[in-house]
Chains A and B, each alone.
Chain A
Amino acid sequence: MPNNQHQEHTEADKSSSWQSVKNDWGADKQAFDMPWGKLMMWIFLLSDTFIFSIFLISYMNVRMSVTVPWPNPSEVFALTIAGHHIPLVLIAIMTFILITSSGTMAMAVNYAYQGNKKKTVYLMVTTALLGASFIGMQAFEWTKLIVEEGIRPWDNPMGANQFGAAFFMITGFHGLHVSAGVIYLALIAKRVNQGKYDNKGYQIVEITGLYWHFVDLVWVFIFAFFYLW
């Protein structure tokens, strides 16, 4: 049986992508050429993907089973600014901010690998601040829904009660992820600044970035399912 499976692979083997997949999985020592921390983050995100998927699928199921009409998102999420009734304006800004923060995060990773500690820290802090402002606006949006519109998890004057329940639960769960991300970013930025990774390498910035991009990506789905449907 598999006695002589382990072979040294030549550079030529790596030319085709299937071959390199085969080489990775057939190798000893490690299956992926990356530090364990990065792999662990990927696996965690896969598990987290299932959590968010199940949240969203449950939301769709509940939305289909309710007997009362679902409120119109263009009305629920509209703001009146200077006398103009503008639908979805706040959420457009929030989404823009979160996607911008993904850009600054990507730049932070780039500078980290270039060894530019100062710019890395600067961009990570920017990312964290953008994330914090997202949470601030989310708090504003929640306050408006709760205080002005009278929407509660168990009650909704504008339509089905499940709207409030699903909205607060899922955006709240995502908001917790963003909050955790802000703390995580701040912590890693501080440690980068202190030079704790000078010897170990700056993979940690990329790992932090994976988490941050994931949180942004999840938001795109939440945005689509709650605000555009």
Chain B
Amino acid sequence: MTKMENIAIADQVDQSSHPSSFLSKYIWSQDHKVIAIQYSITAIAVGLVALVLSGMMRLQLGFPNEFSFIDPSSYLQFVTMHGMIMVIYLLTALLLGGFGNYLIPLMIGARDMVFPYLNMLSYWTYLLSVMVLLSSFFVSGGPTGAGWTLYPPQAILSGTPGAHAGILLMLISLAIFIVAFTMGGLNYVSTILQARAKGMTLMRMPLTIWGIFVATILGLLAFPALLVSAIMMIFDKVVGTSFFMPAILSLGETLDHSGGSPILFQHLFWFFGHPEVYIVALPAFGMVSDVIAVHARKNIFGYRMMVWAIVAIGGLSFVVWAHHMYVSGMNPYFGFFFATTTLIIAIPTALKVYNWLLTLWRGNIHLTLPMLFAIGFIFTFTHGGLTGLMLGNVVIDLPLSDTFFVVAHFHMVMGVSPIMVLFAAIYHWFPLLTGRLLNTKLGKFHFWGTFLGTYAIYLPMHYLGFLGVPRRYFAMGTTDFIPESAQTLNAGITVSAIIVGLVQLVFIVNVIWSTFKGKKSGRNPWQATSLEWQTVQFPPGHGNWGKQLPQVYRWAYDYSVPKVKDDFIPQNLSPEEVQYLTSDKNNNQGVK
């Protein structure tokens, strides 16, 4: 009697109580939609800080010695904080904390996450980590300038900017972030596995959910490496242990450390760092697949293969980390192994690109704002992926390592590409949040400014890399091997970067203006099939579905089905409710 029969969440009676006060509705909210918006606003706010930092870096690179407020120390601090904020506190938080939170319950037909209280804690812990991180701007010595990879021994030795308070705050903030991510991540995975609606099998889930699902699992398995290395580095710094610290002679003085292994940190960092690339990329892959299918009015090409490609990329991402370390002096056979696995990843990734193109092929393409950004993503991602193939080979990587070519490569592939998808996703799902569309004219301006501006910034950087211009240098001075024209190019890049930065303000204005004054979208403005657009109340209210949970009858990609009246069939429309063009139902075997 006490061993209760386990009842699936989809079959349980709705017992959720709806919050009534302003505080419990909008501040200490346990509603996944409110938490998602809190996550998104925080992430975008801190991302704007990182955007400004990148502008400062570019000012120095483009016009060296023109700006007295940028000295070599602050330049390194801008580089470090820009990288860390963008990768962890913006992209990871916005894609998983923001979009993951918002879309998972709505797209799989659940009322909320399985553990809403933990979900709320996740956001507030994330906010704490952001505040700890930003507080490092105000301590003596400023934030750390060790580069976003925080390599010891230099990260915690004097001589590096922020080597005392700054690095500690960074490490503590990362540890707090990992706690926050774990609380959220446990929720996302458990919800996707256990709280799906009736009829929603795993292989009927939209690819967005697949991307978020696999990315979250990657996070839960990869962040431990960062946590452990952060703890060990905190000990090295505070207690004086020597995990990562070899014997060092600094300015004629022998330091107290000896016997540690700096390479160990690099392995741990990249065991986290490489899956992190896919923690950012996989949700983006998923979302862009859905945006492309909806706006091309075609089923996604090769759904099953798209799912397995996501899973394969996720698995492979754990065995490629040392391709970030070709120049660390490791055994050449290791380099051979990691180059091989790295190139193997190109197979499922290329498969996905082909499938996006084949989805567009002969589709009824609507060049809406989300679609523009999605197509832009295919360009930037292919571009960054191809340079990734080059850098994956040891022999090509060695001369290009630590040049602007690498900067150009990873900004194209994991900076610009996920951000293009984020914009596509925001333009796509904005009506779901507000019931209003974003302004098209401003949006097109935003798209072309961002897309063309991106190429204006990063294409020349590839060339600078081939010339051998090193990255992370405050100023080049005069060298024999770099022509003076490189400086002209750098100035041009800086001007483009500032323009692209300003174009983002147009986007922010658009979001604020459209939230209150935008054109009313009506229900399901893109005529999408997936569940989030099929809620009773629009935009969806607390509990998402009212009294009755939806029932799912098909996958999420029934667009332009022949002989059906509308060109799409929502996932929750029963076969009896589907309206046909002709009365002869016998000819419609394919659309049951």
Contact B268 A30 (CB under 8 A): no
Instruction: Let me know if B115 and A46 touch, CB within 8 A.
Output: no
Question: Could you tell me the distance between the alpha carbons of A4 and B258 in the complex, rounded to whole angstroms?
Answer: 64
Q: Does A35 contact B (CB under 8 A)?
A: yes
Q: Judge whether A165 is part of the interface by a CB distance below 8 angstroms.
A: yes
Asked if residues B242 and A6 are in contact (CB atoms below 8 Å), the reply is no
Q: Interface stretch among B3-11, B362-370, B409-417?
A: B3-11
Given contacts A162-B241, A202-B2, contact A2 B203 (CB under 8 A): yes
| Contact partners of A164 in chain B: CB under 8 A | 241
Task: Tell me if A153 is interfacial: C-beta within 8 Å of chain B.
Answer: yes
Tell whether, in the assembled complex, residue A54 and residue B268 are in contact, meaning their CB atoms are under 8 Å apart: yes
B261 near A62 with CB under 8 A, answer yes
Neighbouring A residues of B193 by C-beta, 8 Å:
30-32, 39
Q: Is B520 an interface residue (CB 8 A)?
A: no
- A51 to B202 Cα, complex, angstroms: 29
The stretch from B35-43, B228-236, B435-443, B445-453 touching chain A is B228-236
Partner of B202, one of A25, A67, A113, A166: A25
Residues of chain A within 8 A (CB-CB) of B6 are 33-35
Residue B194 interfacial (CB < 8 Å): yes
What string of 1s and 0s marks CB contacts (under 8 Å) between A1-16 and chain B?
Answer: 1111110000000000
Q: Tell me if B200 and A28 are in contact (CB < 8 A).
A: yes
Q: Is B14 an interface residue (CB 8 A)?
A: no
A164 to B232 alpha-carbon distance, docked (Å): 13
Return the chain A residue nearest B299 by Cβ: A1
B405 interface residue per 8 A CB criterion? no
Instruction: Give min CB distance, B314 to chain A, whole Å.
Output: 14
Whether B114 lies near A5 (C-beta < 8 A) is no
The reply on A50 being an interface residue by CB < 8 A is yes
Tell me the smallest distance from the CB of B300 to a CB of chain A, in Å: 9
The contact of A50 among B197, B224, B303, by CB within 8 Å, is B224
Q: Using A47-B220, A154-B240 as known contacts, say yes or no to A62 and B592 having CB atoms under 8 A apart.
A: no
Restricting to B211-247, which residues have a CB under 8 Å from any CB of A? 220-221, 223-225, 227-229, 231-232, 235, 239-243
Task: Determine whether B190 belongs to the interface, using a CB cutoff of 8 Å to chain A.
Answer: yes
Determine if A89 is an interface residue (Cβ-Cβ < 8 Å).
no
Whether B573 sits at the interface, judged by CB under 8 Å, is no
Decide yes or no whether B90 CB sits under 8 A from chain A: no
User: For residue A4, which residues in chain B have a CB less than 8 angstroms away from its CB?
Assistant: 592
Please, which residues of chain B bring their CB within 8 A of the CB of A17?
none
Known: A36-B9, A40-B186. A162 touches B259 (CB 8 A): yes
A66: interface (CB < 8 Å): yes
A residues neighboring B (CB under 8 Å): 1-6, 25-37, 39-40, 43-44, 46-48, 50-51, 54-55, 58, 61-62, 65-68, 112-115, 153-154, 160-162, 164-166, 169, 173, 200-203
Given contacts A3-B555, A26-B202, A58-B268, 5 further A-B contacts (CB under 8 A): A2-B204, A4-B592, A43-B190, A68-B259, A165-B241
29 sample A-B contacts, Cβ–Cβ < 8 Å, listed by A number? A1-B299, A1-B555, A2-B201, A3-B553, A4-B592, A27-B201, A29-B194, A29-B198, A30-B8, A30-B193, A36-B115, A40-B115, A40-B187, A43-B189, A44-B182, A47-B221, A51-B227, A54-B224, A61-B264, A65-B264, A67-B258, A68-B259, A154-B240, A161-B242, A161-B258, A162-B241, A162-B259, A173-B231, A201-B3
